[in-house]
Structure 1
Amino acid sequence: MHVVTSREMRELDRYTIETIGIPSIVLMENAAQAVAKEAHAHAQGQLKNWLILAGKGNNGGDAAAVARHLSEWGHHVHVVYAESPQFLTGDAAIQRDILQKLGISVTKYQPNTLDWRSYDGVIDGLLGTGTKGAPKEPYASLINEANASGLPILSIDIPSGLDADTGAVGDPCIRAVRTVTIAFMKRGLVQYPGTGAAGETTVAAIGIRPEFADRLGVRTFLITEGTLKERLGVDPTLPRNKDTHKGTYGHLLVAAGSRRMTGAGLLCSKAALRTGCGLVTWAVPDSLMGPLTGHLPEVMLSGLPDAGTGQWGSVVPEALLSLADGKDAVAVGPGLGQFEKGAQWLQTLWEGAECPLVLDADALNMLAGVINRWPVRKAPTVLTPHPGEMARLLNVPVREVQANRIEAARQFAEAHQVTLVLKGAQTVIATPEGAAYINTTGNPGMATGGAGDVLTGMIGSLLAQGYNATQAACAGVYLHGQAGDQAASRRGMNALIASDIIDAL
């Protein structure tokens, strides 16, 4: 499923109208009917009193047409225009005139005069995707009254006051229980806090086909099962052929865990095996070999000389590089710890390893501040930062990363020719070619220590099995979230721990 910016949506509208030849009023009618059907379904077979809020643009035209359809189906409707409807133009004016001829109740908004108690629900058609910044009067007052009413609000396209591109919410912003977005998902609806303001979101097909978005170069997508299968060529069940052996499914080297954080390497290695990797070698400082032996019998432990410290800072990087020889992928970082000359240590692996590489946690902290000076790797490279690590990589505040997660990830991935997994609610995967994918699985219970280590093992496993970096990152994130959802359904979100995610794979 494509995800569009406000500019891309305008281009798609123009293409559909001017090149394909579907008149704009037809698109408006299709949109309005889809929204009206959602409102009718919300009423659960009962006839309701709807207060319909209309702005001066096409959103207001949509709202007027919604009122007409609901009225035809027997609902009671009253349309309130935020501004005088006499100044409407184009399709919005046509819809206004139809309401007048049908005798549907219409008024211009006057602050604090509406009797909200006489309505069962509100339809928000005040502001559309082209609006930027906080709503001004009279829209601000009308939005505040709508929110204060306590009535369920259904928004057309986006909640009024929401930035369609970033998900930023203005002061004020409609708090909808449901949003029917038109033609394509908007970026602001899949980034927080916008996702929260929109409530449950559905996409209404109105005649602007997905292939139009491909033709116009839209390169942002939601990760669904369909996206994995049809766009990325990945069957999320990860099926196996009958005539295979363990070597068929790759050999992953995991460099993770230190004296105080051995669990990170254990989770990473076990997740790699559960995701289907044929062989996993877990490299650790040699002093940890004894305590770890037998904890995960399916993994091959490999101790590297550490001068008895149990810390990676005492392991020469060439020893790890030598161990990486012949492996199908390497995962580095979970529980690694930070140490003096860590960046120099990591650079040996960055430049010397010829296989795909996934970096997480402390490896990302080593990378911060130096990646701009390092050469682009020839082999695929996946970075998996959380927002704090991403902020360090970019040398900006976390709030700047979170203000536009999609663009932060995309720009970094293109600049450094890596596949970047920006973790968090609605994890974003950005590719070196400039595409971005937004995950649809997962839940707040996964905000728990070790969940990221599990993801690193999963992505590393898929890389070792021969999936390309985009496939491995997108499938890994999707399956990680899906397992988290299954674990939460069994345990509850508050009780969920990282090993529960592995158990649900």
Structure 2
Amino acid sequence: MYLVTADEMRKMDEHTIFSLGIPAVALMENAGCQVAREVEAFSRTMMPSRSQGAPHWAILVGKGNNGGDGLVAARHLIDSGIEVTVVYAQDPDTLVGEAAIQRDAARKLGIRQAVYGADPIEWGRFDGIVDALLGTGSSGAPRGQVASLIRDANQSGLPILSVDIPSGLDPDTGQIHEPCIKAAKTVALAFLKRGLAQYPGREMAGEITVANIGIPRQLAERFQVAVHLLTPQVFEQRFGLDTTLPRRPDTHKGTYGHLLVCAGSQAMSGAGILACRAALRAGCGLVTWAAPATLMPSLIGHVPEAMLLGIQEGWTYPQAVERLLAAIRQRQAAVIGPGLGRFPGDTAWLRTLWEQTDTPLLLDADALNMLADAADFAAWPQRTAPVVLTPHPGEMARLCGVSTAEIQRNRIEVARHFAQKHRVLLVLKGAATVIASPDGDAYVNPTGNPGMATGGSGDVLAGIIGSLLAQGYEAKAAACLGVWLHGAAGDRAAAGRKGMFSLIAGDLIEAL
């Protein structure tokens, strides 16, 4: 499923109108009709009328095309037997273009109307609200009458259905302005907007439906839309993958790769346990856990399916490098970083592994902090084999030299820029994890839940993606599929417990 920016949507809309010859008023008619259908379904299934008669909806209308969509919906709702009052945010005579055409049609049909600020609005008369105030063409915080109307709508306690995006939401980043509509449902028109798939916008949108309004889907390819929402259909169409990961009968453990996990220290040996167990559960044929030899006696038996490789010198530099280089070269992929700790010369240690191996690498946790401390990271040579970085927002902030808040303000573009600049696969973890590749593509993951915000969850993700790399999955597919499987396992684990609050990282492994 494509995720589009406001500018991409505008270009596709204009191409449809001016190049394909489909009139703007026809697109508006389609949009309003789809919105009306969703209101009807909402009325039937989610909010039975509080009165004995038909449900009564307030249609909040702004002066742009979003308002025109709302006016079309009002006509169709009247025809279906639902009562409607159109509430204009401003003098309706200020409407222009297609919105003015719809205003005139509503007037001729005698649809009940009110002007906010000039006429009294009795919110208690309504059963629901359609938010058709501000679309993707608006920018910045709502002002004046529109801002006041948004606040009143939110305070009414009525369920709100937003047209395209909740008014006050940034369509590209998902950031919310003050004020912003808190919708129970959003009907995205033609394509899902990026802001609806990212937090906090995703939370403000409620349930989301994408409605076809006559803009051809193929235009997304023509206009090089590069961001997608991960779904089983996307895996099938873009990667040729079945998310159930079926296996041929004539295979053996060697078929599914050998992963090296370089993880663990005295204080954080559990990170290696989690990463190794997750890698095995994700289907890797063989896993070897490399850790300081001093830890070996305490690790025996914790992951009986994994082999152990004790590094006599620990993680010291340069003493341990040759042993690790040989181990990495003998495997199909390596995970470096979970619970590793920091040590003298660690950045040079990591650069040696980066430069002197042709094996796919996944760098997590302390390995990312080593990268952040490398003043010359931008000058490190491009690897012939892929590298996947899996930072959480704090680690990403250190890598970029900015604040965590700045990372969170525009996660998709931050991830895309970093992946393209450094030629890496970047997995920016968090709610709605973003996966960005060097070719400019990015994917947003919809699976997962807040219960996964627990220590060790990232180690599990590192093990899953590392496992897929070792099994021979292309790096972009491995990162995307690993993130999706990780979130889906979290959802299954939460469903089997009394609440998300009790999830621990080990639950995710068992739910894979």
Q: Which bin holds the TM-score, normalised by the shorter protein?
A: over 0.9
Quote the Cα distance in structure 2 between the aligned partners of 1:381 and 1:112.
62
Match of 2:340 in 1: 336
- The alignment partner of 1:458 has SS state of helix
Deviation for aligned residue 1:311: 5.6
Aligned position for 2:320: 316
Name the residue aligned to 2:171.
164
- 1:42 aligned residue: 42
SS of 1:145 mapped into structure 2: helix
The unaligned stretches of length 5 or more in structure 1 are none
Displacement of 1:297: 1.2
Q: 2:222 aligns with which of 215, 226, 240?
A: 215
Tell me the residue number matched to 2:508: 501
Greater mean deviation of Cα atoms: 191-200 or 213-222 = 191-200
Read off the aligned partner of 1:12 and give its amino acid letter. M
Give the C-alpha shift of residue 318 in structure 1: 2.3
Among the aligned pairs, what percent are the same residue? 58
Matches within 5 A, 1:184-263: 184-263=191-270
Partner of 2:15: 15
- Which piece of structure 1 moves more, 39-48 or 260-269? 39-48
- Tell me the TM-score normalized by structure 2: 0.96
Alpha-carbon offset, residue 477 of structure 1: 0.3
Alignment CA distance shift 1:284-1:87 (3 Å): same
Q: Do the aligned residues in 2 keep the contact of 1:304 with 1:315 (CA within 8 Å)?
A: no
Deviation per CA, 1:358-409: give whole Å up to 9, x if none: 0000000000142223112111110000000000000000000000000000
Q: Is residue 179–residue 199 contact of structure 1 (8 Å, CA) maintained in 2?
A: yes
Residue 426 of structure 1 is matched in structure 2 by: 432
Deviations 1:330-368 (A, max 9, x none): 100100011222111111111111110000000000001
Matched, 1:132 2:142: no
Within the candidate set 86, 90, 94, 1:83 is matched to: 90
Alpha-carbon separation, structure 2, partners of 1:260 and 1:290: 15
Once the two structures are superposed, residues 234-267 of structure 1 have per-residue CA deviations (whole angstroms, 9 ceiling, x without a partner) of 2111111111111111111000111111110010
Is the CA contact 2:70–2:130 (under 8 Å) kept in the aligned structure 1?
Answer: yes
State the one-letter code of the partner of 2:2. H
SS of 2:500's equivalent in the other structure is: coil
Q: Deviations along 1:58-96, whole A, 9 cap, x unmatched?
A: 001001011111111111101011111112111101100
Q: Are 1:326 and 2:326 counterparts?
A: no
Per the TM alignment, residue 206 of structure 1 is displaced from its structure 2 partner at its CA by 1.1
Moved over 4 A (4+): 310-315
Aligned partners of 2:319, 2:394: CA distance in 1, in Å? 27
Partner of 1:144: 151
Q: Deviations over 1:111-148 (max 9, x none)?
A: 78311111111100001111111111111111111111
Amino acid at match of 2:42: H
8 A Cα contact 2:318 2:349, kept in partner: no
Task: Give how far 1:20 is off.
Answer: 2.4
The SS at the match of 1:480 is: helix
For residue 69 of structure 1, give the secondary structure of its aligned residue in structure 2: helix
Between 206-215 and 3-12, the greater mean CA deviation after superposition: 206-215
Offset, 1:201:
1.1
Residue 361 (1) aligns with residue 368 (2)? no
Name the structure 1 match of 2:384. Answer: 378
Q: Does 1:349 align with 2:353?
A: yes
What is the alpha-carbon distance in structure 1 between the residues aligned to residue 322 and residue 178 of structure 2?
55
Residue equivalent to 2:482: 476
Q: What is the DSSP-based 3-state SS (H/G/I as helix, E as strand, rest coil) of the residue aligned with 1:494? A: helix
Tell me the secondary structure at the aligned position of residue 73 of structure 2: helix
* RMSD value, Cα: 1.3
Deviation at 1:19, TM superposition (A): 2.4
Deviates more, 1:11-20 or 1:477-486: 11-20
Instruction: Indicate if the aligned counterparts of 1:50 and 1:122 stay in contact, CA closer than 8 A.
Output: yes
Match of 1:273 among 273, 280, 288: 280
Match among 293, 297, 300 for residue 286 of structure 1: 293
**CA positional deviation for 1:313:** 6.4
Contact 2:316 / 2:344 at 8 angstroms: preserved in 1?
Answer: no
User: What is the distance in 2 between the residues matched to 1:296 and 1:62?
Assistant: 59
What is the CA-CA distance between 1:312 and the residue it aligns to? Answer: 5.6
Residue 181 of structure 2 aligns to a residue whose secondary structure is coil
Q: Which has the larger displacement, 35-44 or 405-414? A: 35-44
Does residue 1:33 correspond to 2:45, yes or no?
A: no
1:249-289 per-position Cα deviation (integer Å, ceiling 9, x unaligned): 11110001111111100100111111111111110101111
Which deviates more, 224-233 or 432-441? 224-233
Q: Which amino acid aligns with 1:448?
A: T
SS of the residue 2:496 aligns to: helix
8 Å CA contact 2:174–2:202 kept in 1: the answer is yes
**Any conservation in 2 of the 1:462–1:476 contact (CA below 8 Å)?**
yes
Equivalent runs, 1:433-472 vs 2, <5 Å: 433-472=439-478
C-alpha distance in 2, partners of 1:2/1:91? 27
Distance 1:501 1:111 in 2: 56
Q: Contact 1:177/1:200 (CA < 8 Å) preserved in 2?
A: yes
Corresponding position of 1:110? 117
- How many residues are matched? 502
- Structure 2: which 5+ residue stretches go unaligned? none
Q: How far off its partner does 1:294 sit? A: 1.5
